[in-house]
Chains A and B, each alone.
Chain A
Amino acid sequence: MTEGARFARPAGSEHDIGMTTVDEVQRRGAFSSRKVFILAAIGSAVGLGNIWRFPYVAYENGGGAFLIPYLVALLTAGIPFLLMDYAIGHKHRGSAPLSFARLRRGTEFLGWWQVGICFLIAVYYAAVIAWALRYTVFSVDEAWGDDPEGFLFGEFLQAGDPGISSDVVAGVLLPLALVWLAVLVVMALGVEKGIGRLSLFFIPVLVVAFGALVVRAVTLDGAVVGLDAFFSPSWDALTEPGVWAAAFGQIFFSLSIGFGIMITYASYVDRRSDMPGAGLVVGFANSGFELLAGIGVFAALGFMAQAQGVAVDQVATEGLGLAFVVFPALISEAPAGALIGVLFFGSLVIAGLTSLISVIEVVISAVRDKFEMSRIAASMAVGVPATVISLALFSTTSGVYVLDIVDHFINRYGILLVAVVSMLVVAWVLRELPGLAAHLNRTGSLPLGRIWFALIAVVAPVALAYVLIDELFTDIEEPYGGYPDWMLGVLGWGSTAVVLLFGVLATLVRWRSETPLVEPYDVIEEEVR
């Protein structure tokens, strides 16, 4: 019998013990199998950062030697923290706010803080996907000509001086509207038919498309030069605290942990699933894809450096610059460049879309739980305002600046801060780690005990707090990006303060009487008791 077929059994039969119940599936939705959950979780973790951030971070922080702090960070902070998220969501069967409320009423604000962060991320993340969508088409005829940077900021984004503008750019507005339309349809279809089926289809497509890109990149002239630059170790780097901080930061941002996504997804998983085992698969799949991205990106950069007669460090960069300036230049120079372009930007679109739906699901799931709304109503209640805000802020000539500032601040003083606070609260204030470990050990293949407690209570928060404090000092010493103070104040510090305030205020809304905040959460557990 397939795992999905189990859901069809009537509630109350002995064989339902420990499984997701029919009532629960109908009320909240659920993944039909462990495989679907794992693919959805991989889809969430593998995003734009895997492709355009990891390769440069590794190159800048010791090259091949970066593997050591990276693996240490994965095993001592990334996967342990991922398992804490899984445990909270899987045990308490709710969105981030509901799960935290069930953990202890006073911690509900942590869940709403995560919801606010996810809403903000979703509205700008969609814009980057829209750009990638447009560049997939641009790749066919290399629309950027011989000046990719001038094309990006001039003809395409029409960016003027930093500030806030209401001048709409039709070339961004239309693909952005298309992205949101796709997201709304997927979200309205629900957990299994929407998120599950999208992941089942897109993750294999992403692996094949990006795999094809890597094969093409490593067969270009000069690819070896790029790979040599990427993997050559600088062992001295291992003595620098900044390199270790970069490794922990990369793992943390890459795994989609600490801001509600994995809590939400885990709440949709069958009660008998081996969550620690699934966590190992997701963690290694995410890092495995990052390695693949590093090979593909640096092989391509090696070709470009050789073609231009410069060193690899002259062309190596990250983020928007890598995707929308360096890669277009590379596409123009490489044989069969259009193919590389379609594969590269198509991969960005797929990776971005599967991450975006996981981010917006955090918000939709929370709204559904709080107001007991239908799937479609909650999707519209969240998706329509998100679409309007996204179009208003990011389809204008100032969109790129707003995006850059909000992204910088919400990543550090939103995601990172809430992650550190939630770990400390769960480990030291609530002292809930033994209970969460017992829950995962019930069906898990990886026994969690004192080592896991130490990693969650000490190692991970200390490492991430170091990253956070280091970033804070950097931002205080040197205002980010050279933007005007008012922009950094309003869009940067302001947006991080607003999501925190939202987290506190949202807890004032009472839960519906039909939403139990104490166990048993459904009829099956009650019958067993």
Chain B
Amino acid sequence: MSADAVILMLVAMAILWGGLVLAIVRLNRHDLPPIDELHRDL
């Protein structure tokens, strides 16, 4: 494989698969809003 191809393969993996991992971590860390806040919004 050419150097360009290798670099782009690694970049694509890092962005798409890394992005997926970050999105999952971010979702799991997000706390649910307090009940009071939902009361006010409703």
Q: Are B5 and A227 in contact (CB under 8 A)?
A: yes
A18 with B16, Cβ < 8 A, contacts A231-B1, A274-B30, A277-B27 known: no
A17 with B35, Cβ < 8 A, contacts A232-B5, A281-B27 known: yes
Find chain A residues with CB under 8 A from B12 CB: 64, 67, 231, 291
Find chain A residues with CB under 8 A from B38 CB: 17-18, 272, 442-443
Q: Please measure, in the bound complex, the distance between the C-alpha atom of A65 and the C-alpha atom of B5, giving whole angstroms.
A: 10
Q: Please measure, in the bound complex, the distance between the C-alpha atom of A227 and the C-alpha atom of B10, giving whole angstroms.
A: 12
Interface of chain A, helix or strand or loop or mixed? helix
Interface Cβ pair total, 8 Å cutoff: 97
Q: Are B27 and A71 in contact (CB under 8 A)?
A: no
Q: Are B42 and A224 in contact (CB under 8 A)?
A: no
Interface of chain B, helix or strand or loop or mixed? helix
Taking residues whose C-beta sits less than 8 angstroms from the other chain, chain A's interface range is 35 or more
A282-290, A326-334, A392-400 - interface stretch? A282-290
A14 touches B (CB below 8 Å): yes
Find chain A residues with CB under 8 A from B2 CB: 228, 232
Find chain B residues with CB under 8 A from A228 CB: 1-2, 5
Find chain A residues with CB under 8 A from B37 CB: 442
Instruction: Find A288's partner among B16, B30, B39 (CB 8 Å cutoff).
Output: B16
Find chain B residues with CB under 8 A from A280 CB: 19, 23, 26-27
Find chain A residues with CB under 8 A from B30 CB: 274, 277, 445
| Nearest B residue (CB) for A232 | B5
Instruction: Find A525's partner among B23, B32, B42 (CB 8 Å cutoff).
Output: B42
Instruction: Find A529's partner among B8, B16, B26, B42 (CB 8 Å cutoff).
Output: B42
A278 touches B (CB below 8 Å): yes
Q: Are B16 and A291 in contact (CB under 8 A)?
A: yes
Q: Please measure, in the bound complex, the distance between the C-alpha atom of A291 and the C-alpha atom of B12, giving whole angstroms.
A: 8
Find chain B residues with CB under 8 A from A291 CB: 12-13, 16-17
Q: Are B39 and A17 in contact (CB under 8 A)?
A: yes
A277 with B26, Cβ < 8 A, contacts A231-B5, A443-B33 known: yes
Find chain B residues with CB under 8 A from A224 CB: 1
Within B5-23, which residues are at the interface with A (CB < 8 Å)? 5-6, 8-9, 11-13, 15-17, 19-20, 23
Q: Please measure, in the bound complex, the distance between the C-alpha atom of A71 and the C-alpha atom of B16, giving whole angstroms.
A: 9
Q: Which residues of B contact A (CB under 8 A)?
A: 1-2, 4-6, 8-9, 11-13, 15-17, 19-20, 23-24, 26-27, 30, 32-33, 35, 37-39, 41-42
Given contacts A15-B35, A64-B12, A290-B16, 19 further A-B contacts (CB under 8 A): A18-B35, A64-B4, A64-B8, A71-B15, A224-B1, A227-B9, A228-B2, A228-B5, A231-B6, A231-B9, A232-B8, A272-B33, A277-B30, A278-B27, A280-B26, A281-B23, A288-B20, A442-B37, A529-B42
